[in-house]
Structure formats: structure tokens, C-alpha cells
Chain A
Amino acid sequence: MAPVKSQLTVGGRTLAVTNLDKVLWPRDGYTKGDLIAYYRAVAKWLLPHVRKRPLTLERYPNGIDEAGWWEKHIPRGLPAWVRTVKIAASTRDEKIEFIVCDDEATLAYVANLAAVVLHVWYSHEPTLDVPDFILLDLDAGEGCTLATLARVALAARDELAAAGVTPLVKTTGGSGLHVVVPLAPRYDWDQAKGFAELIARRLHAVEPDRTTLDRTIARRPHGTVYLDYVQVGKGKTYVAPFSVRPRDHAPVSMPVAWSEIEAMGRKRAKGTAAEMTRWNIRNVPKLLAQGGDCWTEGWKPHRLETVIAAARSLWS
């Protein structure tokens, strides 16, 4: 059976799109056409977060119930106009040629590959060895309530605020939250990693019962938030803001104001996943058109020297 093809013109580029009616979210009925339409609708807000950054695709061409896969290497048949970058991405020697998504046409192209999730680097061209933010992944474990997750996130905000840092927060679209601290582009990977670990350990010190640092899932205490600080590093990626997740109701990883997290702290929800679906491919384009990206204003690069100087008296 030949795929159903049609053409799409985006930003002066004509690209072939296939099987637009293919249902990717079987219980919601969202199709690949819906995914492409979503990514085009949020391009204006999403692109600043992924531009110039090596991109990894998480593809679900047969829908979210089938196994998806991660793709770092450019796919076969990549149009000549899609920009790429070739890098040795880790300690492994070989070079990988990544897609770099700079424009709406490329975004539409990867959406047509059923790339539900977009993962990008912590650094961008031409300074791929200079991370420009760090991330603390607050991962709600089994039995963790929404209020616990929110409370841990707010504790992270307060600890950082005391040291002069204004962190940003987004939903992961899964079950947790991402706390992000923009950095001045002057540090290396070890310094960025060290800072992420420092925040995690400080947070564990102030919230010892609600958090865990144990990397083995089976050993994490029930109902706690796992503080994952090891996601930062060369070749590592995070889920881009406004990326969709392969779960029911097509939740979106949504940058939110801290007031949203305060509101979560007052809710009685047993789990956290349901709350995350509040932001999904149906309503996020509208929310952005109305309110814009709350990270745009909040993205302020921090200097670690200043932060450490302030933290020294508080956290010792």
C-alpha cells in the first residue's frame, strides 16, 4: 500500500508530507496531521529554544502504543535544505550527523517523521562545548502526590532565590517538572554538572523526606521525588519546551509561571500525570497566542561565581 502523499509549503520550502490521517494517539484520535499542525502553530515560540542545537528525534510512526525509537543520526532521504551538524557526541569516537532545526519548515519536516518528542542539547552552535543552562529533573516517583512534587519544586525555587537565582520551570509532560537555570556562556560541562549536583544535594538536605537521590528506581522511597542532576553533559539532551509527549491526551512540556506550581501545591491529586495533561496539543497553541512564552521574560543568564558567593553563607 503506497503512502498517501501531499505537499506542504512552509517558509518558502516545499516538502512532501505523508499519511496525514494516520492516528498516532489512538484513544484521542489525534493524527500525524494534527502533530504537524501543532508544531507549526507553536513554531514561533518553540524555535528559539531549539535553534542551533543538535536535535534528537523520538519517533512514533506507528502511534504511541507501538515502540518508538530515538534517532540522532539524520534519517535517510533528508532534504538537502535541512541543516545538519556533524559532531563526536560523546566519549564514543564516531561522529554523528544531527539535524539542526532552525526554521518552521524543518519543524514540519521532523513532525512528518512522526517525531513526537524533540530532544535538544544544553549547548548550541558554534559553542557546542559551552552549556548555556542547567536542568534539575524533578521526577515524581510512584505514589508521589501532586502537592509533594509542587512542594519540592517550590523549595528548589526558594533555595535558589536565596542565592540570587531566578530559576524557570516547565512541566515534563510526563509526571514531573524541569527546573532550569540559565547560565552565562562561560562555563564548561564539569562546572555546569557540578552546579546541578550542588542544587540537587542542597534540595535533598532541606527536603530529605520528600526527595531521593537514588538512581536505582527500586531503591527510591515510595512517594518521593527523584532529583536527577545527571542529565546535563556534552551530548546529553532535554525535552525541548513545547515538545509533545507520547502519552494519552498528547501532553506538552510546558513552561509555566511559578504561580502555577503554587496552585498545584494546593491540589489534592494523588498522582501527577493527570495534571500534566492540562497542557496538550489542543490548547497550547491558543494559550501561547494569548499569553506568549513565560520563559522569554524570565530567561536571565546567571554567573556561577556570584551564586556560589551568595550560597556559601546560606548553605554551609
Chain B
Amino acid sequence: MAHAIWSGAINFGLVTISVKLFTAVRTNELRFNFLHKQDDGRIFNERHCTVCGEKVEYGDLVRGYEYEKSHYVTLSDDDFKSVRPEATQSVDIVEFVELDKINPMYFDTPYYLEPEKKSRHAYALLRESLREANKVGIARVVIRSREHLAALKPNGDALVLELMHFADEIVEQSDFDFPELKEKVAPAELKMAKMLIDSMSNETFEAEKFHDDYREAVMAMIDARVAGEQVAVPEMKRPAATNVVNLMDVLQRSLEQSKHGAATAARPKAAAAAKPAAKKSATAAKPKRKKSAA
């Protein structure tokens, strides 16, 4: 189970619903370290000052805001602290709005709110009443010392808190040259285009159908290199040679621990059925498959 960002409450009117806040999306971004081509050594960055040329430690850094070229206003940690919002740990609903009235471009990152035991009923009540009214709660929330605008939406069994952009973060459409609504399209053309859309239409959106092909291709390449031992192990990072006696000691200790612990309790009985020596018929569990990804 993921770690809660905070435990707090949804507040509106006189109602308080105790909840925990969790992230609802994970980033599957590929992460790489830079290595030195010649010897696979890890690279680390050193900060150098452009005035004195000295190497600068983290503690000697201060943040500067460049208000015009080469002119800075410096802000200290205390300055930031003085304007930081109070860590309220609450979702304060300020109003309710019909979902269709919000431009979807405002929605940014979703979070889950999970009710505490005592608030399960109130949670379900809020979720269902929002659903029936087709409304969402507009709220203020502080996450990781930043205040955000957010929408509280029913989503399946959950209440999802979706952080929203502030109005000035959205680039205006008037900055671009889009054809106007009243620009003429011939009815016949429209009919043709609609037919094409119908022929490519799907009842539902199946997210599982789509994969991050680039990521999968890179990971496949990495897996193949690991399997083919085309790996880099920087010399300095290798652990000191472990000797046989030490390894036996470690292993024995681990075996003794699991003897008293839970590991043996979970010992599988079914394992015997699947070992290669067992001559069992080929029938296994009933094929259970979700919808095929066509």
C-alpha cells in the first residue's frame, strides 16, 4: 500500500469527513545515470562559482530571482517560510459546480482520498450526492507546502481530488489562429466526416489497449543486455570479495530466522504438482482472460 501524503479532512459547511490523501498516478518514466564512457564510473556534478571560481557547497547557496538580466532579488529559506501556507491537511470546499461547466483543460493531477473508518458513511453519502447532482466540489488544498485549487469528483467507488490549473496558467486560444465556429462547412462534407468517425468508433475507451511502446522497447533492450551480460559494473563500486565461510554464515542465519518466522508457514503445498518431475496432465486452471486487446 502506498504511503499517505497526509491524514486530514474534507470540510464543507459544518460537515467534516476524515480522509487520507494518496497519489493516484505513478510516473513510469525511464531514469538513467550518466556514466563515464571509458570506465563506467558514475558522474557527479560539482557547483562552481562564476565570480571566484571556487567550488560551492550546498549550504552556501541562496536562491536569486532574475528580475532583469543579471539583476537578482535573493530570497532566503526564512523568506520562503514566511509566505508558505499553513499545512492545513484539509480539503476545504468553497463551492459546488456542475462538472460540464468546467473546461477539462483545467484538470491536472488526480489524487485519491480514502476515508477513515469512522467517516466511511459520510464519504459514501458525499460521493453519491455529487454523482446524482452531476456536480463537483471546488476546493483549496495544501499538498507538499503548496496551496492548490482542486476539484473533488466521484470516480467509481472513490472520491478523487483533481488538482486544477489556475486561470492564468492556461494559454489563451486567442493567441492562435483557429477557424471560427461560424466558418462554413458543407453539410455533405460534415456527413462524410461523421461517417468516418462512426466507422472508427468504439463503445468504450480501453486504456489497457494502449502501451508506451518507446518505454517497452527500451526496457526490452535493457532486459536483453542484462540477460546477455552486457552490463557495466564500475570497478570502485564492487563489494569486497565475499568469502565462502561468510556466505555460509549469512545463509544459515537466514534459514534459522525463517524457521521461526512466517516464511515456513506460507510453504506452498501446490508446488509439488508443478515441479518438472511430476507427470501431471496438461490441464491447468481454467483459462481466465480479460477482454482481448485486439
Contact = CB atoms under 8 A, between A and B. Distances in A.
Interface of A: 11, 47-49, 51-52, 56, 58, 69-74, 76-84, 92-94, 100, 102-104, 119, 124-127, 130, 132, 139, 182, 185-188, 190-191, 194-195, 197-198, 201-202, 205, 215-217, 226, 228, 231, 237, 241, 293, 295-297, 299, 301, 304-305, 308, 311-312, 315-316
A79 B289 CA distance: 9
Contacts of B272: 185
Contact of B220 (A69, A82, A216, A311): A69
A183 B263 CA distance: 15
B244 A186 contact: no
B247 interface: yes
Interface string B244-255: 110110111011
A215 B229 contact: yes
A94 B40 CA distance: 29
Q: Which 9 A-B pairs have the closest CB atoms?
A: A185-B271, A127-B268, A299-B277, A102-B284, A48-B276, A198-B247, A103-B282, A194-B251, A70-B220
**Interface majority SS on B: helix, strand, loop or mixed?**
loop
Contacts of B267: 130, 185-186
Interface of B: 26, 28, 40, 211, 216-217, 220, 223-224, 227, 229-233, 235, 242-245, 247-248, 250-252, 254-255, 258, 263-264, 266-268, 270-272, 274-280, 282-285, 287-289, 292-294
A130 B271 contact: yes
B251 A215 contact: no
Given A216-B232, A296-B276, A73 B271 contact: no
B244 A315 contact: yes
- Please indicate which of the listed interface residues A82, A93, A127 has the most CB atoms of chain B within 10 Å of its own CB: A127
Contacts, number: 159
B248 A73 contact: no
A228 B227 CA distance: 11
B294 A201 contact: no
B229 A139 contact: yes
A80 B289 contact: yes
Nearest to B224: A70
A217 B40 CA distance: 13
B255 A305 contact: yes
19 contacts: A48-B277, A69-B220, A72-B223, A76-B294, A78-B292, A79-B292, A83-B284, A83-B285, A94-B28, A119-B227, A130-B267, A188-B263, A191-B251, A194-B251, A215-B233, A216-B231, A231-B227, A311-B248, A315-B245
